[in-house]
Amino acid sequence: MNKAIFLDRDGVINKEMGHYVFNREEFEFEPGIFELCLRARQSGYLLVVITNQGGIQKGIYSIEQTDTLHIWMAEQFKMEGCPLDAIYLSPFHKDISKNLLSKPSSLMIEKACAKYQILPGQSWMIGDRERDIMSGKRAGCSTVGIGSDTQHSGSDIWVASVQELLAIDFF
């Protein structure tokens, strides 16, 4: 069996811009994210991205643009010595259609757990929105909230930034 760090994308891996990010020009890595992932891998964790990309269903950008961005993003992680094991995304938006996939549902995490034999009880979900924390808790993971939106979400750990999280030996 395996353990994993589940990572939300916008606001955790890359900076939250306040609008949809779908090209690399606007994709700015969060300071400390590679070091965090490197440490996680060295501690035996798989790295799995769990991201809502509701802008796809809204027609703001395409699944192809998202795939192109994620292939590039995955290459950067590989070059930094901490390759990602998987990326799960939900293209749906709750304003357009109800769906079971998007966070706060835990379905993407559960799919990853089934495919990669991950024990949620030994795993962590890191996110910057309450829906990330809810998703992690529903799956049975421990949770890290980053930033003001998650301050009162009931996450196991709360920090202001990824860099602050590096100072805590949480896993």
Binding site for Mg ion (CB under 5 A): 8, 10-11, 128
Q: What distance in Å separates the CA atoms of residue 122 and residue 79, rounded to the nearest whole number?
A: 27
Q: What distance in Å separates the CA atoms of residue 49 and residue 63, rounded to the nearest whole number?
A: 16
Whether the bond into 83 is cis, omega within 30 of 0: no
Q: Residue 121 carries which DSSP code?
A: G
- For the question of residue 128 being annotated catalytic, the response is no
Q: What distance in Å separates the CA atoms of residue 126 and residue 116, rounded to the nearest whole number?
A: 18
Q: How far is the CB of 10 from Mg ion (least distance, A)?
A: 4
Q: What distance in Å separates the CA atoms of residue 65 and residue 89, rounded to the nearest whole number?
A: 13
Q: Report the chain's C-alpha Rg in angstroms.
A: 15
Q: Residue 26 carries which DSSP code?
A: G
Q: How far is the CB of 62 from Mg ion (least distance, A)?
A: 20
Query: In a 3-state reduction of DSSP, which class is residue 12?
Result: coil
Q: Are 26 and 66 in contact (CB under 8 A)?
A: no
- For the question of residue 132 being annotated catalytic, the response is no
Identity of the residue, 14 or 117, whose beta carbon is nearer to Mg ion in the bound complex: 14
Q: Residues with catalytic annotation?
A: 8, 10
